[in-house]
Amino acid sequence: MNFVVDKENNTIKVEREFDAPLDMVWAAWTESDLLDQWWAPKPWQTRTKTMDFREGGHWLYAMVGPEGEEHWCKADYKSIKPLNSFSALDAFCDENGNVDNSHPRSLWKNRFTKTDDTTTVNITISYDKLSDLEKIIEMGFKEGFTAGLENLDHYLSTQFRLRKENKINNKPRVTSYLNFPGKTEEAFLFYKEVFNGEFTGVGLRRFGDIEMPADMPPMSNEDKKLIIHAELTIMGGHVLMATDSPESMGFKMIHGNNMHINVEPESREETERLFKALSEGGKIEMPLADMFWGAYFAAFRDKYGINWMLHYQKAES
């Protein structure tokens, strides 16, 4: 990353390359559910109140501290060229979006450039006068923004790699998803022998094989050997999937929660429709959200007591 303070022109210039394609990087900067995952430096979190990404629209969000303190900000979008660039005037404000004029406003101009499987973001942040620029720097902007971009780099690199490995088309399918308290590998080797099956997809993938989200606690060497995802095709083309859910990682296996019907719709919109319909009157375990492995995912029990997973993942072109 290049970070340059240009006091002669009252600007900050940042250049950062990400190991992910243009569409993913653009989405991470322009969709509120993704911005909430990386914009704030840890242990702070971003919480969006409203977002309307269009020229004349705005993003109203809070930076929430570990003790629950809130600092509200608002970005007014000035110009947007999809998958190319956008500009926005950022300001401190209250929770209703009323601008706090005691703090400087920042004019952001972000430009996105594609190179093979990487994307470079060039950012120019302008201020009305030098004192505004110096105040922002004194407030720790460089350190905070650098930490946020590190969050984004981790999210994008992990999501892109898993997206390429886990999904090659958007053909809908239904599979069975099983949970074991540490015996996934043993069980799937048994099922493979019984059904003369074949490991497909990524086969058996261990927790230690992937880079976990930065805010997860460290795993023991034994837990790293456990299976985070297994895929086995048995008779008639039916697919069994599974993961280990040991108590050492905070899971509690009980009879009734160790098997789900896993539905993989062909679009994000269909995933949302199915979630709304199937979860009504039931119990939601994990609300529909973008996950670190690249999927739009939810897990819940319907009103009849049946466990479901919804898993939409955009095909890698």
Q: In the chain, what is the greatest distance between 2 CA atoms, to the nearest angstrom?
A: 73
Provide the percentage of residues in the chain whose pLDDT is more than 90.
49
pLDDT in tens, 216-261: 667 788 888 999 888 888 877 888 888 887 776 666 655 566 788 8
Long-range CB pairs of 7-10 (<8 Å, 24+ gap) are 7/130, 7/133, 7/134, 9/126, 10/126, 10/127, 10/128, 10/129, 10/130, 10/132, 10/133
pLDDT in tens, 99-122: 999 999 999 999 999 987 789 999
Taking the C-alpha atoms of residue 166 and residue 203, their distance in angstroms, rounded to an integer, is 10
Q: Cα 267 to the chain's mean position, in Å?
A: 17
pLDDT in tens, 173-189: 888 888 888 888 998 89
pLDDT at 58 over 70: yes
Residue 85 confidence (pLDDT): 97
Residue 159 confidence (pLDDT): 64
Residue 257 confidence (pLDDT): 64
What average pLDDT does the segment 7-25 reach? Answer: 92
Taking the C-alpha atoms of residue 239 and residue 249, their distance in angstroms, rounded to an integer, is 26
Q: Are 314 and 166 in contact (CB under 8 A)?
A: no
10 backbone φψ class: left, alpha, beta (φ>0; ψ -120 to 50): left
Q: How confident is the model at residue 214 (pLDDT cuts 50, 70, 90)?
A: low
Q: Using CA atoms in the order 58, 59, 60, 62, what is the torsion angle rounded to 10 degrees? A: -160
What average pLDDT does the segment 1-17 reach? Answer: 95
Domain boundaries, the chain: 2-165, 168-312
Angle, nearest 10°, between helix axes 130-138 and 141-166?
70
Mean pLDDT of the chain: 87
Q: Are 282 and 303 in contact (CB under 8 A)?
A: yes
Q: Are 230 and 237 in contact (CB under 8 A)?
A: no
Q: With respect to CATH, is domain 168-312 assigned 2.40.100.10?
A: no
pLDDT at 213 over 50: yes
pLDDT at 276 over 60: yes
Residue 317 confidence (pLDDT): 47
**In angstroms, what CA-CA distances link 100 with 62, 65, 74, 104?**
14, 19, 10, 9
pLDDT at 127 over 90: yes
Residue 9 confidence (pLDDT): 96
Taking the C-alpha atoms of residue 206 and residue 229, their distance in angstroms, rounded to an integer, is 7
pLDDT at 315 over 80: no
Q: Burial-class residue 178 by CB neighbours within 10 Å (0-12, 13-18, 19+).
A: buried
Superfamily name and number for 2-165: START domain (3.30.530.20)
Taking the C-alpha atoms of residue 22 and residue 24, their distance in angstroms, rounded to an integer, is 6
What average pLDDT does the segment 32-40 reach? Answer: 89
pLDDT in tens, 285-312: 889 998 877 789 999 988 878 888 899 9
- Identify the top-confidence range among 103-107, 161-165, 196-200, 300-304: 103-107
